[in-house]
Structure 1
Amino acid sequence: MNQALAGYLAEVEQSLRGLSSGRRRLIVRELEAHLRDEAEARGLLTESDMEALLAEKEMPRELASQLSEGEDTDTTHRSETSLLAGSLLGLATGGYLFLQGNWPWHLSLAFCFAHGLAVGAGLFLVRRRWQTLRPGVRVLTSALFGTLMAIPLGFTSLRGFMASRLMYGAFTGYMLERHSTTRPAWQAVAETLAFTLVDAFLWTFVFHHRRPYAWLLELSFNFTLALGVLVAIHLKRLMSGRWLLAPQ
């Protein structure tokens, strides 16, 4: 780990008061993940770059004091923002399915709740647990967790459980973790196109659906999903603004 960052985090952890050791470690992991993400987004790669970044932030003891005093409120705030961001994602996808006319309202509503609360809010709430992992491992973990949380999506069908719908959870997890750091818009477009190709292959050759793959419908839905994830990320970031370290 970068020496400047390690020293900053150690001082924050030592200055946290009134919290369990497990909670202190979790706070430090979240703080480290935020600082690493900011450094990556700003192209700060060297030891001196990190030192300059940390010099902009609050002093470790001041930050630790604020975190300790606001722990209960911040936990509630984090849960609320995750729920709202996830709900926005569910409204985007469930609303799209209803408006395109082929889905009955009750299945659209079920998809909205399953995707928004189980997948979206679940990912926003839990993703801090893997923020100390390497970027590629974080993306993979998020995609796998999204797949698991998408199991309820498989039941939003009149034909019984559809395992192919787990792919929506995987794509949601991938996009959420991948784009938690700001990236060019063309990457989201390219990734959505690539996912649609993979989804079509699995639909035809792995899940063996009898119906042909509805390219136009699936592509438009996947773009709606991707856009919903990006908007939810920005909404979560906006609502969580007071969590971010303030420049001094």
Structure 2
Amino acid sequence: MSLIKKLHNKQATETKMISTSIKIPQVMDEIISDLAVFFDSTKQEVILDLLSDAIDNYKAEEKKLLEQQENEIDEDENSSITNQENIAINHNYFLLNTCKRYSIDDHYFMINNGYAAAFDDGYKQQIERIKKGDVVFLYANGKGISGYGIASGQTIKIEHDGVPENCYYQVLEDYQLLDTPLKAKDIRDICSRTPVFLKTLSKINKKDGQIIYNNLNN
């Protein structure tokens, strides 16, 4: 949606707002002020809409990049790899973000119980990508990989926030809750390709998945 359309169709939202401060060039501030006058809006609303458009564009580009990375990973999966724990070569590795910054309750639902879960349309369906025997690393923002286990392959659908079947999850067998999470920096250091940390569920190539798994078991 264009900035003009957004400003002409403003709606009140219940989104929690926080304060932040940045310094911008004077010429940019003047442009924002002119836009606010032109659209009979406030500078804050103009800035929010500009940021919203920028974030939407970023997400679109990120989605393309993620799809490209996962296609490259699939192409690399022809090599025969087994680890010392005899995890079969046809099993995949996934990094699941617990989305701690959005809901601490959902985060603990996963971490404390050993569940690979996702919530809401467009996200919960990702859990159905996980098959029996796949290794799932639970990644907490700001902490790192905080737990991991072997997927059961059975997706359970339950109510969440009053919405039926708004949560999809799988039980992680042989689940290990880590006293010391494996930080993002350490993951980048040991992997040949940096995993995607911010996506709800991202596939890790088998070579790097095995490296992470073995590192957690040492």
Under a length normalisation based on structure 2, what TM-score does the superposition of the two structures give? Answer: 0.36
Q: Pick 1 or 2: higher relative contact order, CA cutoff 8 A, min separation 6.
A: 1
Of Structure 1 and Structure 2, which has the larger fraction of its residues in strand? Answer: 2
Larger Rg: 2
